[in-house]
Every structure is written in structure tokens, then in C-alpha cells.
Amino acid sequence: MSPQRGIHWLGPTNILLPFFIAVALAVGHHCYYAGLAGQPAPDGEYIIWRFTRSKQQYNIAVGTAFAFLFKAGVAWAVTTSYVQLFWHVLRTSSKATRLVDVDVAYSLLHDMLGFFSTATWRRQYLMLTPIAVIFW
């Protein structure tokens, strides 16, 4: 089996689709709260599945859901782009790479202490660092 040439559609789609969904969620969050702005706080209650919640709690829950899903979409897009760039850097690196440096670079999205490692600031991993900073 020969290695694949060019850009495959799955990588860019896995980066751009959650990003555009996150942008749509951010616009939806803004429009939702803009619609609530300037109105008096609701004082009624909703009964959803036999649970009674105030309308104010419902409004806050919807706004929080928008914000959480936005963050999840951005985290998905940033993580996917980081992993794609990580493997590209490893594949195209002309220097020999130590396993400990690869481990630090790969775990940078999960372990913030990796920013204090000198491997993170080396030339071959320098492009990965700003993406990890955006993630954190």
C-alpha cells in the first residue's frame, strides 16, 4: 500500500466543521441573550419532565449550554489541528528526535507542565506551542 499523497478531506473537515459550528453557537448565544436583554426577569415556572424550574434558571441553563458547546467545538478544532501538525512535524523533521521530546510535545494538551520543558521551545516544536497555548 503506497502512502497517501495530498490533503485528504477528513483532516480539514475535522478541523473546520467544529470551528464553524462553534462560531454558529457563539452567534446563537449572543442572539439569545440579546433577545433577553432589556426585558424584566421572568417570574414564572416551567414544568419539564415533572421537574419544576423557574424561567430564570431555564434561561441561564440555555445560555450555559450554548457556552459549553462553543468551548467543546473550539477545543475539538484546536486539538485536531494540533495533532495534525504534530504528526506533520514528526514526519518531516530532518533531525533525530528523542522519545522524551516527542512525549512532551504530544502530551502538551493534557499536561500544562510541558510548557516548562526545553523540548517545547525547540525549533521543530515551536509551531505547536502557540496552538497549545490557545487550547489552554
Q: Which residues of 40-57 are buried (b: 16+ CB within 10 A; e: fewer)?
A: eeeeeeeeeeeeeeeeee
What is the pTM for the complete model shown?
Answer: 0.72
The pLDDT assigned to 133 comes to: 73
pLDDT class for 8, splitting at 50, 70, 90? confident
Instruction: Look at residues 17, 132, 133 and name the one whose alpha carbon lies nearest to residue 83.
Output: 132
Q: Convert the pLDDT of each residue in 64-110 to its tens digit.
A: 999 999 999 998 888 888 888 888 877 877 777 777 777 777 777 77
